[in-house]
Structure 1
Amino acid sequence: MSLSAALAQLQKWQKKVLDYVSRTLSNIEPEYSSSKMLRSRALTTALNKLSTGGIRSAMLFNPEGVLLAFSSLTDESERSKAAIAANIWNIYQHHLETSEADTVQEIMFEFAEGRLILCRVALLLLCLHGSKDVPLGMLRAKAMTLIENLEKPLLDLADS
């Protein structure tokens, strides 16, 4: 059998497998109720309330950097920010695990153009990006307020 014939056969099998998986997945009923789903609109509304007083963006994402909800006053790519922030969080977390220290609860950064705080909320991460005029204490206070309001509902969702 020639290489081109083998590749053609492989592509046919691949298509058959993908079609089968597609049909199978479309027949599966979800095993969760709609009351246990994460409501991104409600999360976005909560994050919008923080976008005052110099806060440029607020993001909620999982540890892999997948953006779940965000509020932004700029046109920047929030998905990229979330992926970078999650990567930084995971590097710090990994470093602490190898040194047998506590887990990371928050990370604060001060840049030339702004300030950033990254905090754990249940199993997710919250990132607030503020202008350089926002004091770190104010940025942290806003993050802690949101965490207090989101922690229990997100933990309840994770337990279900």
Structure 2
Amino acid sequence: MLKPKVISQVLQQTTHHGVKASLLMNNEGSLLAFAADQARTTKTYAAIAASIWGTYKQECVGGDVGAKGGLQFLIMDCEDGIVYVTSISSMLLCMVSDHTVELGILRAKAEAISNHLQGPLDTVAYQADYVQY
């Protein structure tokens, strides 16, 4: 069983040195856990990131996330900062930083969180699929 408070603590480890927010959400943009300097903006970040991810995912070859040629991550340079989105199991990880953060650092942080949460989220996704059948 995943505990959102524990996931938020893991996400909190990335929110320093220019990273404003780390969000874990489903493909529709509903937040599972987050860590942010301004909590009121998290729903907006999640909704926009999930919408853009869904659009690009459909345009990729077969929409197969993670497969060769499939969508693996998005980097968006916005007016308020940089948004990095990637998938972890059946969830999305979104990280928002200011423009002072280098893209390589942002990607490395996202990959570290992704690797840390991949196993537990795979277990939850498998159990959710099992319950549906």
Shorter-chain TM-score: what band?
Answer: 0.7 to 0.9
- 8 A contact 2:81–2:97 mirrored in 1: yes
What 5-or-longer segments of structure 2 have no aligned partner? 128-133
Counting only pairs closer than 5 Å after superposition, residues 130-145 of structure 1 correspond to structure 2 as 130-145=97-112
Over the aligned positions, Cα root-mean-square deviation in angstroms equals 1.8
Match of 2:71, SS state, is coil
Identity of aligned residues (%): 30
What does residue 131 of structure 2 align with? none
- Letter of the structure 2 residue corresponding to residue 109 of structure 1: M
- 8 A contact 1:106–1:119 mirrored in 2: yes
Aligned length: 124
Structure 1 residue 79: deviation in Å?
1.2
- Letter of the structure 1 residue corresponding to residue 71 of structure 2: V
Structure 1 residue 98: deviation in Å?
5.7
Higher share in strand: 2
1:105 to 57, 68, 72: 72
- Letter of the structure 2 residue corresponding to residue 83 of structure 1: A
What does residue 90 of structure 2 align with? 123
- Letter of the structure 2 residue corresponding to residue 82 of structure 1: A
Structure 1 residue 74: deviation in Å?
2.3
Larger Rg: 1
If asked which structure has higher relative contact order (CA below 8 Å, sep 6+), I would say 2
Q: C-alpha distance in 2, partners of 1:158/1:107?
A: 22
Q: C-alpha distance in 1, partners of 2:124/2:27?
A: 16
When residues 99 and 53 of structure 1 are mapped into structure 2, their CA distance, relative to the original with a 3 A threshold, is closer
Structure 1 residue 155: deviation in Å?
0.4
What does residue 4 of structure 2 align with? 40
What does residue 87 of structure 1 align with? 51
What 5-or-longer segments of structure 1 have no aligned partner? 1-36
